[in-house]
Amino acid sequence: MYFLYSLLLTIGVGVLLPRFLYDAARHGKYAAGLGERAGRLPSLTPVKQPVIWLHCVSVGETQAARPLVDKLSERYPSHTLVVSTTTLTGQRVAREVFGKVAARIFYFPFDWAMTVRRALDAINPSAVLVMETELWPRFLRECRARCVHVAVVNGRISEASFRRYRTIKPFISSVVNNLDLAIMQTEADAERINALGLTRERIRVSGNIKFDADVKADGQEQLTGQLRARFQFNERRPLIVAASTHAPEERVIIEAFKILRNALTGKCPRLLLAPRHPERFAEVAALLESSGLNCVRRTAEPKAEDADCDVALLDTIGELRAV
C-alpha cells in the first residue's frame, strides 16, 4: 500500500511539475529550501538533550503554535526544539516567532522514504508534534519504525476531508495508527479521527489552542493599537473582516460590500481584506483600485486620509490576529 502511495505521489509531482516550476519562477514558491525539502539537513550539533520536532504547515499553524512552544520551553527547558514548515510564508513567520527558541528552523521533507529518512537521520527527534492534522503517510511510518513518538496537536478534520479519507479507509487507518496521540480541537474532530481507525484512548480534546495565546506577551496588543489608530477601527463604523481569501472570492466580497454600503443607512461599514497568499497581494490591490472604492494598502506610507478609507488591504504576513 505504501509503495502504491509513493508511486502515485511521484506521478502526481511529475504531472504538476510545470505548475511548480511556473510558481517557483513567478512567485519563488517551492524553490526555497529545495535541499532541505530533499532531506539534506546538516546534523544538529551533538547534543545530549532530547529533540522535539514541531511541524507547522504555514502561517496559521505557526501562529497557533505560540502558546504550545511557550509551554514546551517552560516545562522542558532541557529539551532541544526544532521547527519545520511547508510554505515559504510559514518559514518566514517561524523564523520571526521562534528564531530565539528553536535550534533549527527548516522546510519539511518531501514524503518519499529516502528524503524522510535523511531528515530523520539529521534531526534524530525523540518526539514529533504535528500541528492541525498534517498526515504524511511515509513520514509517520518512518517515525513509528524508529520508535519516535508522534502527536497531532490542535488537530482538526473537516467534514469534506473526512469524506475523502473514508474512500481510502484501510490505508488511512494504518496511517493514523502511527500516531501515539491526537489532541483534537472539538469532539466532532475526535469522532472523525476515531472513525478513521485511531483508538479512543489515544484521542484527547483540547479546544483550539490559538486562543490560548497571550496577546500582550507576544506584542500583538501594540500592533492592534497601531492599526486602530491609523485606520480608526472603532465603534463609529462597523468593520467587516474578510480573512484568508482566495480568487475569485475577493471579487465577490467587493461586489457584496458595495451592495451592503448602498443598502445601509447611518453607520457605513468598512472592509478589511486579507488575502491568503502573499503572491496575490498586488493582484488584489489592482482589483480594489478598479472597484471605485477608497482603498489603502497596509504597507503603503501612512496618511491622514487612511482613517476614512472604505477598504484596508492587509498585505502583510502574520498581522491578522492583531486586528
Q: What is the mean pLDDT of the chain?
A: 90
Q: Encode 20-37 in three state secondary structure.
A: HHHHHHHHCCCCCCHHHH
**Which residues are designated catalytic?**
61
Check: CB of residue 85 under 8 Å from CB of residue 108: yes
- The pLDDT value recorded for residue 235 is 84
Over residues 287-320, the pLDDT tens digits come to 999 999 999 999 999 999 999 999 999 999 888 8
Of the candidates 45, 38, 145, 155, the residue with the CA atom closest to the CA atom of residue 104: 45
Please indicate, yes or no, whether the overall pTM of this predicted structure exceeds 0.85.
no
Over residues 59-84, the pLDDT tens digits come to 889 988 999 999 999 999 999 999 99
Residue 253 has pLDDT above 90, yes or no: yes
Report how far residue 217's alpha carbon sits from residue 221's, in angstroms, rounded to the nearest whole number: 8
| Joined grid coordinates for residue 172 | 488511512
Residue 180 has pLDDT above 80, yes or no: yes
**Consecutive H or E run containing 281:** helix 281-289
Of the candidates 9, 10, 40, the residue with the CA atom closest to the CA atom of residue 107: 40
Report how far residue 166's alpha carbon sits from residue 49's, in angstroms, rounded to the nearest whole number: 40
- The pLDDT value recorded for residue 210 is 79
Domains and CATH numbers, the chain: 28-212 (3.40.50.11720), 222-322 (3.40.50.2000)
